Chain A
């Protein structure tokens, strides 16, 4: 039974693994309703440090395209923030606070003035800063002069949950103009990414084609396009999950076949006596098949718990991968997957019981009784 439970757990984990990253990434990309993204030509969002020039013109062009309702420019970078004698380096996002889709405020308010910033829990924990504190920030460091560049005093106005950041990643956000100004000429009127929201019911693919035609010097991707690219990159995961899932199912099938066969062999006398007293062969087959299904079912229930616990543990390890958004789950539990795994295992249980049950129900009664008597 333990073996069946382990097989069921592994099958569930593989089913969860095969869809987990894809579904959680899709949920993440759509979590704030942005269906389109613009990145520097030939890159994926935040794949490189490259930026898109002439950001204000890009925004102006995008506003001319039908169905686009919101444009959220994002500039990435780093801020070195001095707290007493310490300096904490954090990933910095320059955003348009009115339409940003990178964080959710959990305390305080979003930065509206040029000298305001919000920070992640991890930053606040590391720095010890509190909402209302005035912080000294710099966007760069000149190793020759051994001094910070792009310095500015900022006021911490909120605590935020950053959607795309890795776990334990220290992050802050400021208005995009502030970060552009702090980074100097290199970032003037530049953005790393534009997130674009289309109106509900709009043809996103048509909007994408409009953007590609109007802005040929950037790469535009829709969530669906991004998911296709992710699918290509994750095909190895899915193949591995499929193979291991199939192996688990096969092992479970063989285990149940063996258990039912052993059970039948131990009860040959009972089985042929049932036939002798007039129990129909189909009834005997059904009863033994049900035994197989019960074994598989009980094993599967135990396996579901085991699988969920294993998935949670593995997820906690994999979630610590550097650069991976904390919101991405490798193993994502969806009831549909659990039912799917349960259904597959039930079918396997039925199939596993058919051969030994048919064999048991088809034994010649007299010969079997004679052999039982001798044995």
Chain B
């Protein structure tokens, strides 16, 4: 495990260097801006992955009542928020370069904004419940209720609003056929970010558990 962690930096260094040096900038994009796909999409992927992890561990907590599962779920949401914000920022920077405006109400864009709000709401809820025995249960209930409504958040509602707002330019990340260098770097970045997420999750969850145990000892 330690070896994997040590390897992550050189691996990511290679991927990032490659992102700038190997593939050609894609057609139809302004300047080098298509390179952001190697950062923006992995961030979005990681944020979504974090949501799934949080949902699974929330359900696991309700089933087994093991507090470690709650530690992982909370850590996952914190990371989901971080990567979600990064997704929005990188996306916004890209939008400004491509279309001259910071926000375009593209359905995918808007659903990520909502996801970030959801993460923040979950963390706020945790902070507002003072009883440490009830907090994991309330948090898990909210997380799973959100999962039930998730399809509407991400798929259905944006399809409806698309008819209200002006048609945006087709999202370049949609169905672009990737040449070999692009595909290699893209999936390389995806793997790298996933590895980074796994490591950050482990550290944050363990730190959360230490905080919780520390409080238990102090509170008794």
A and B are interacting partners: no
On B, residues with C-beta under 8 Å from A are: none
